[in-house]
Amino acid sequence: MKLHILTENSASGKFLAEHGLSYYIEYDTNILFDTGHSDVFMKNAKKLNLEIDKIKTVVLSHGHWDHGDGLKYLRDKKLICHPEVFQKRFGKGRDYNIGLELSSEELHERFDVIASSKPYPISKNIIFLGEIPRTNDFESQTTTFELENGKDDFVADDSGLVIKLNNEIIIISGCAHSGICNMIEYAKQITGISKVRAVIGGFHLKHNNIQTQETIKYLKKQDIKELYPSHCTELPALSAFYNEFGMKHLKAGMILNF
């Protein structure tokens, strides 16, 4: 399995960066996971000699601009997502939409949309997780987002992928608004595989606080070989992870081989 970093907050070499996330996954089928918010993912894919036009399946981790606005550069593909990705949403105290630029109608016109809150098998070894149960007492306890009606937005549509590889699993997250530990536990539950090889993507941790320390404590118990917190995992939390795990800093243009 190969995972190509098409979009990240920072870049390597002559690649481009933006605030966003997009991965190209090569395995028993090829998948585009998120698109960032511009055509950066396409430009970096070209530098990596990847043919985005030939991709048949796009997975959207959740309905935020920095993960899905690049969809406007694609069409005529299968789009797998949670049913609630299409909502308008806002940061508390802000009056601009941080949801998707394209409306539900526009996305359904451009794509064959498969909206599922349940786990959805994409191939023999890749599963879209659907809605993540929030079962622990330290993740997804507060939110800085709200919906158009003024209600708190805990990003119920937040999801990811679980990939089965040699009796182990790899978890791919967009932002983990549902909690990266909750996501891992759910991936283990639906696959029946307890050994986690790698966890990659946004962990949505901003500070070296109780949630970050509880996350580190949980991950240490899992004995995970490779951890790659990125994108929305900010410097204080990244530093705490580096001190514990010594992980690599993901950059656009990098390729992970498993």
Say how far apart CA 215 and CA 175 lie, in whole Å. Answer: 14
Asked if 161 contacts 126 with a C-beta cutoff of 8 angstroms, the reply is: yes
pLDDT in tens, 86-100: 999 999 988 899 999
Q: Is the dihedral of CA 154, 227, 209, 68 positive or negative?
A: negative
pLDDT in tens, 124-181: 999 999 999 999 999 999 999 999 999 999 999 999 999 999 999 999 999 999 999 9
**pLDDT band, very low/low/confident/very high, at 221 (cuts 50, 70, 90):** very high
Across the chain, what does the average pLDDT equal?
97
Sequence letter at residue 153: D
Asked if 200 contacts 3 with a C-beta cutoff of 8 angstroms, the reply is: yes
**How many domains does the chain fold into?**
1
List CB contacts of 92: < 8 A, sequence separation 6 or more: 144, 145, 146
Q: Does the predicted TM-score (pTM) go above 0.75?
A: yes
Assign residue 223 a region: left if phi > 0, alpha if psi is -120 to 50, beta otherwise?
left
The pLDDT of residue 95: 87
Asked if 173 contacts 61 with a C-beta cutoff of 8 angstroms, the reply is: yes
Domain of residue 78 covers 2-257
189 vs 102, 121, 132, 142, CA distance in Å? 34, 14, 11, 25
CATH number at residue 6: 3.60.15.10
Say how far apart CA 144 and CA 153 lie, in whole Å. Answer: 8
